[in-house]
Structure 1
Amino acid sequence: MINIFKNNLKIKLLSLFLAFIMWIYVMVEADPIVIRDFNDIPVRITNIEQIKEKGMTISYDSDLKSNIVLRGRRSLFKDITKDKISLYGQIENPKLGENIVNIKASLPENIEYTIMPEKLGVILEQNVVIRKEIDVQKSGRLKEGVKITDINISPKSTWIEGPKSIVNKVDKLVCRLNLDNKDSDFNVRTEIVPLDKQGNVIEGINLKDRYAYLNVSVSNSKRVPIKVNLTGKLDEDYKLISYNISNDTVVIYGKQNELDKVKEIYTSKIDISNIREDKKIIANLEIPPNIQASVKDIEIEFKVSKLITKDFHIPKSRIIFNNIQNLDISKNNLPENILVKVVYLEELAGDIDEKDIQIFVNMQDDILETSKYEIKYNIPYPVERVDVVPRYVEIYK
């Protein structure tokens, strides 16, 4: 009986040993120990808020990444990917300049790891917060004849936060607006981008607002003539020779129904009664409500001349009688001199001479015993007015 018991015990111990050997074999073959490397894992600083409360932040140049080597059973790695590995560390007694951080890892149990490097040098800088206006950077072209009348941006400015060395590089904040083929009002959401003076994008800062919302108003256009609105009258001793305007048309912008109402644009009233010489003035354009114009005013150049009045006494012997056909006519009732009163521009003062003035009478074939004829004149210059005294003469056979 005792021998049987001893034999069974030996068999059981042998079976247990064989089972252990089989388990070891299965573990080695079916779920072996493996080693995996993961590179460039971001390192999270756990006390960053405490650091910011002290007016500091991590320099953009600090490389907060490390590598890790994992060792464990293959079955433990089925849910482990690079983005699920957490490396972290705390900056003890933070100060401006370089600080050393000991890196730790958050991983499932039974996984061994080695972090390389296990310490990082982290540069802390002064944390700066400033507010900057947001500019609109336009690109593309609207449809022909269309113009932007207003751009409303929200927000108009935002806060920038980051390391002093980076924030100081920010020259402006822009949001980019594409205008290609736009011909009506539109709204758009666009990203706010920090730029340096060379127009390069700045990385490593935080913006309170990531996007800006733009409301863009556009208008149609057409070209209309400009009308000069003159009032008053020049003194009788002066004449307005001409006036020239710097623009005789203007492009106006507005909604189509408003544009259809406008046929021309007038200047403001211009009183010419006191003009005595050539003169240039600036006249405002009377732009209707809800309409915009390419120009707000125009220049008008007036040319004015003084009028000269001069009396010329022409002897009656110089009167030419046309068509008398050998008739013997009496000139006894004619005055010795015919008064010719000439009004001309001041510029002609040295040109007009008495000898240049011809006076004549056109006779008719059927002259009566006594006939009345108009004395006419010929002056080879562009004069303004001529009065002949007497205007008529009586001719006797």
Structure 2
Amino acid sequence: MKKMLTNNIGLKLLAVFAASLLWLIVVNIDDPVITKTFTGIPVTIINDEAITENGKVYTILEGSDTVSYTVRGNRKVVDGLRNTDFVAVADMEELIFLDTVPITITPTKNADKIDSVSQTQTLKVSIEDADTKQFPVTVVTYGTPAEGYAVGETKASPNSIKITGPVSVVKKVSQVKVELDVSNMNGNMEVQLQPKLYDSDGENVDATRITFSNDGITVNMNMLRTKNVDLSFETEGTPEDGYEFVGISYEPTTVTIAGTRTALAEISTIDVPKEAVNIAGATGDIEVVVDIREYLPETVRLTDESYASVLVTVKIEKLTSKTLELPQTSIAILNLPEGLNMSYADTAPAKITVRGLGADMELLTIEQITAQLDLDNLAAGSHSLPLKIKVPEKYEVIGEAAMNIILSAPEEVPETTEEVQ
């Protein structure tokens, strides 16, 4: 029996087969074959020069730049895999009908232990003519610097940039900007910024499909100190006769300027020359807008350009007049010749016409007016003499007032009145 068992080849083969079968059953129970789905693996593009060298650009459509796939293999292998253990590649040289590119998914770990990876994914692209344009780079600042500081000069390097992309996108672009946040800044700075695209309406243009000639723009900015200074205006010319300059007002009355410490120390006011506000021949109020930037020293500037235009209002008022009667007893007599007496030819008071602003004229009284008659070097006889009249500075005497007098010796009795020729 023993000899039969040890020398029987058939039984030996049967035993091997049974053992193998048993091993497969055990393995399948302990480490079965499973499938597992992975999502969100990014697609790597290769050989895109196959498109770009022909003056074309492409855009990946419908979110097909990431893929999902299924992996089949033993549980112990598959459960240990991650997205990072696979690469998805789209070769633009394999572009096929309807602008699709096959995606090849390849494991980078345990490739020999994986039964299969699904390979049914495609990359969908849109192909369009390419265009290139060059634009100057504009630096735009936003935010508020620290108190007492203002943004000075800003420089972009490079100061122009080329953009390349689909014609449909490039034609929308009218300006390239870099935006610099200066909030609470109190010193010079250098920073690298990414350019942004804008259309003619100031709306942002999506730059996803655009290639820039430079990866970034270096912006250098220097900060200036600030100072509040008063404005000062004068007027040139004289209003029409019968009118008077009353006053001048303007808004704003102060502005904030920016400059170096040295430049600011030399400025206390901004004096606008009088020729900027001409009132010659004026018969009414005048309003004029003055751009004060013309009168700033070159070493400083306004921190807010909206205050550059100053509205200046000049008040011009028409003069009014009235006639007052000055009693003869209120007239001072000067230089009465020795040996002569003076008497008035009649009893009429002196009539004096005074002109001034309406409000001032209402306050004028006869007591504010002084008058004199100068009799120097006069001989006996009748004379008509002008009065020397004084009024307060805000009033003006219109015309002349004259008094008829008689100079005579004490014993003479005047009979007639004779005017001096």
What's the TM-score, normalizing by structure 2? 0.60
Q: Which amino acid aligns with 1:244?
A: I
Aligned pair 1:163/2:166, yes or no?
A: yes
Separation in structure 2 between the aligned mates of residue 49 and residue 9 of structure 1, nearest angstrom: 69
CA contact (8 A) 1:162 1:204 kept: no
Number of the residue aligned with 2:70:
69
SS in 1 for 2:28: helix
Separation in structure 2 between the aligned mates of residue 200 and residue 323 of structure 1, nearest angstrom: 86
- Where does structure 2 lack aligned partners over 5 or more consecutive residues? 320-324, 374-385, 411-421
CA contact (8 A) 1:277 1:305 kept: no
CA contact (8 A) 1:51 1:94 kept: no
Separation in structure 1 between the aligned mates of residue 89 and residue 276 of structure 2, nearest angstrom: 83
Which is worse superposed, 212-221 or 282-291? 282-291
Q: Which amino acid aligns with 2:82?
A: T
Number of the residue aligned with 1:382:
395
Deviation at 1:52, TM superposition (A): 0.6
Separation in structure 1 between the aligned mates of residue 296 and residue 204 of structure 2, nearest angstrom: 42
CA contact (8 A) 2:42 2:66 kept: yes
CA contact (8 A) 2:43 2:67 kept: yes
Q: 1:191-246, CA deviations, whole angstroms, 9 ceiling, x for partnerless residues?
A: 33345658456263134244333333343433333345789x98xx9998466364
User: What are the within-5 Å matches in structure 2 for residues 259-278 of structure 1?
Assistant: 259-268=264-273, 270=275, 277-278=281-282
Aligned pair 1:192/2:201, yes or no?
A: no
SS in 1 for 2:98: strand
Number of the residue aligned with 1:224:
229
Separation in structure 2 between the aligned mates of residue 256 and residue 395 of structure 1, nearest angstrom: 80
Structure 1 residue corresponding to 2:184, chosen from 181, 189, 210: 181
Aligned pair 1:206/2:205, yes or no?
A: no
SS in 1 for 2:84: helix
SS in 1 for 2:127: strand
Which is worse superposed, 219-228 or 14-23? 14-23
Separation in structure 2 between the aligned mates of residue 303 and residue 192 of structure 1, nearest angstrom: 55
Separation in structure 2 between the aligned mates of residue 213 and residue 207 of structure 1, nearest angstrom: 18
Deviation at 1:85, TM superposition (A): 1.8
Aligned pair 1:290/2:299, yes or no?
A: yes
What is the RMSD of the two structures over their aligned residues, measured on CA atoms? 5.5
Separation in structure 1 between the aligned mates of residue 332 and residue 129 of structure 2, nearest angstrom: 112
CA contact (8 A) 1:185 1:218 kept: yes
Which is worse superposed, 74-83 or 30-39? 74-83
Separation in structure 1 between the aligned mates of residue 406 and residue 57 of structure 2, nearest angstrom: 112
User: What are the within-5 Å matches in structure 2 for residues 292-307 of structure 1?
Assistant: 292-293=301-302, 294-295=307-308
Separation in structure 2 between the aligned mates of residue 239 and residue 262 of structure 1, nearest angstrom: 36
Number of equivalenced pairs: 359
Separation in structure 2 between the aligned mates of residue 239 and residue 283 of structure 1, nearest angstrom: 28
Deviation at 1:383, TM superposition (A): 1.5
Number of the residue aligned with 1:368:
none
Number of the residue aligned with 2:39:
39
Number of the residue aligned with 1:147:
150
Separation in structure 2 between the aligned mates of residue 258 and residue 82 of structure 1, nearest angstrom: 63
Deviation at 1:42, TM superposition (A): 3.9
Deviation at 1:393, TM superposition (A): 11
Change (3 A) 1:66 1:292: closer
Number of the residue aligned with 2:379:
none
Separation in structure 1 between the aligned mates of residue 123 and residue 372 of structure 2, nearest angstrom: 120
SS in 2 for 1:320: helix
Q: Which amino acid aligns with 2:210?
A: N
Separation in structure 2 between the aligned mates of residue 161 and residue 41 of structure 1, nearest angstrom: 28
SS in 1 for 2:61: coil
CA contact (8 A) 1:64 1:122 kept: no
Deviation at 1:82, TM superposition (A): 1.6
Separation in structure 2 between the aligned mates of residue 49 and residue 360 of structure 1, nearest angstrom: 106
Q: Which amino acid aligns with 2:219?
A: L
Q: 1:358-395, CA deviations, whole angstroms, 9 ceiling, x for partnerless residues?
A: 98679xxxxxxxxxxx97647799226998899x9999
Separation in structure 2 between the aligned mates of residue 135 and residue 73 of structure 1, nearest angstrom: 59
Deviation at 1:105, TM superposition (A): 2.9
- Where does structure 1 lack aligned partners over 5 or more consecutive residues? 307-313, 363-373
Deviation at 1:56, TM superposition (A): 2.0
Separation in structure 2 between the aligned mates of residue 288 and residue 120 of structure 1, nearest angstrom: 63
Separation in structure 1 between the aligned mates of residue 308 and residue 235 of structure 2, nearest angstrom: 20
What's the TM-score, normalizing by structure 1? 0.63
CA contact (8 A) 2:250 2:310 kept: no
